[in-house]
Structure 1
Amino acid sequence: MVPNRKNILLKEFLSNEENLKLLEQYQRTPTICLKTQLDNNFKRFYLVIRHFAYLLKTIHFKAKMFDKSIRKYHQIYPLIVDGKTNGTEFSKKDLVDEFVDKISFMSLEEYVSNPEIMKAIFDLTDKQKQTLYHLYINDLSIKELAGYLGVSSQNVSKMKNQALKQVRENISIYTLKK
């Protein structure tokens, strides 16, 4: 006689051929040895199922807690780049795009008309030219430029000072040559 197969746990246990044969053998000749062996097999099987269920519940619980903490974080610190700014018609994303367009690099030489200064600027590195361009033509602060370039404010200040020093030295050299 086979037990009620509606029980999912028993179905799964008996899906193993070894366990099914052991049960059929026990039904034909019930002995204590077969019963003990069948019980031990079921206990091992059930222990594995319990461990698996525990892991699933733990993963589910941790996932819910993680989702809850992420939602709370996003509620406290929302991303509002696409939101409108103080009732104006422009979104913050539009302002960011405008800022990026503003700091696109043109040539510093285009803004200089004095030939000595032009020669002095020509000897600068591209990084120094870019620094001077954004600081003096685009009117960016050192902090804004540092954020744009991905360097520290001290590094931008140092580049600016080195570039200006080199321009001064080059101008004095070019004026002495005259």
Structure 2
Amino acid sequence: MINEDVFISERFQRKLHEDEDFKKIYLEYLLDPNETNKKRLNESYIKYEKQLIALKYLRKVVVFEAKRFDSKIRKRNAKQLSFDAKFDDELTFFDILKDEKAESNFNEMLERKLEEAFVDARISSEILSMTDRQQEIIYGLYVKDLTEVVLAERLGITQQAVSKTHRKVIKKLRKVVAKEC
């Protein structure tokens, strides 16, 4: 049955202004508040509440389906870029993007020794005085540009051990740089 608080709710008031039949049922109930009128008012309002719930559900379904449809269309229309596809006569995208100079410079950089990667002689000499493990970690992190996790896997140690060693090495190198100033 309708709770008396419902009469002052915004939904109830909106229903009164929108629906003339509901307004008549409500006025009948106010003039003669018997069980029959109360039941009719209650049934009418419950029907209205169910319609609101159904509309809310349908609204959500429409939004969900629209997003799903949009996603499906975007996937279908997405064009895959193939580097082997012919672009212009005999050229492929790979031929256009390929730069032998850049590739050889990169490979040369990877082949360099750790101490050659640093310009400053004091830093290079400090690196040479480090343990092999410290040099491996610095080489992996800065020359090969590996993450601590990947480097730890390659060296067979934990990421925390790599991080701790890295911090120690950086602390040593900071002292060397601080002596210059």
Same fold (TM over 0.5): no
TM-score, normalised relative to structure 1 = 0.37
Give the structure, 1 or 2, with the largest relative contact order (CA under 8 Å, sep 6 or more): 1
TM-score (ref. length: structure 2): 0.37
